[in-house]
Amino acid sequence: MQKYKVGFLIGRFQPFHKGHLYLMRKSFQHVNTMVIGVGSVGVVNQDNFLSFGQRKKILEEVCKKEDWNDKVSKIVPLKDYYNDELWLKHTLEVSGKIDVVIGNNEWTNGIFERAGYPVLRLGFYKRYLYEGVKIRELMREGKKWESRIPNYLVNFVRKSR
């Protein structure tokens, strides 16, 4: 198995859930360090209720609790562009040097592959439970969502809603 020096993981993390945690754990089997790109900064609506600052704090807490501070080199904001070339240019400017892209979003994967970057598709973990769309729906409906995110994040996410 090839080990890459720097992986780049992109997500919205609205909110960070156990599927994200699984993807990060699996990613570290393939990369030495990781840059995390937080997508859709500046977009605020019912599907994007956490600010970049809040999501960065959540990711920093995950890195601390999982003992990944030495493995995650930076967490960067990614703006939305409705032009693939502009989005890629911006993303590469803020990410710095990367060797591989990690993720399951075919739109972003396609952009990076067309630019010559290898992409690791590591698969979803219990997607029927751990999907942001479903978790946000449970939150809006006042149903139980807490078991779908790491325990140490529940209070922070509750306060941020």
Domains contained in the chain, CATH given: 4-160 (3.40.50.620)
The more confidently predicted of residues 95 and 126 is 95
Residue 34, φ and ψ in degrees, nearest 5: -140, 140
State the angle between helix axes of 84-95 and 106-114 in degrees (0 to 180), rounded to the nearest 10: 80
What is the spatial distance between Cα 154 and Cα 57, in angstroms, rounded to a whole number?
13
SS3 state at 19: helix
Confidence at 123, pLDDT banded by 50, 70, 90? confident
Confidence at 44, pLDDT banded by 50, 70, 90? confident
Q: How far, rounded to the nearest angstrom, does the alpha carbon of residue 106 sit from its chain's CA centroid?
A: 14
Confidence at 126, pLDDT banded by 50, 70, 90? confident
* Contact criterion met (CB below 8 Å) for 100 and 118: yes
What is the spatial distance between Cα 53 and Cα 38, in angstroms, rounded to a whole number?
10
Within 10 angstroms of residue 19's Cβ, the number of other Cβ atoms is 21
What is the spatial distance between Cα 16 and Cα 9, in angstroms, rounded to a whole number?
13
Query: Which amino acid appears at position 60 of this protein?
Result: E
What is the spatial distance between Cα 71 and Cα 31, in angstroms, rounded to a whole number?
9
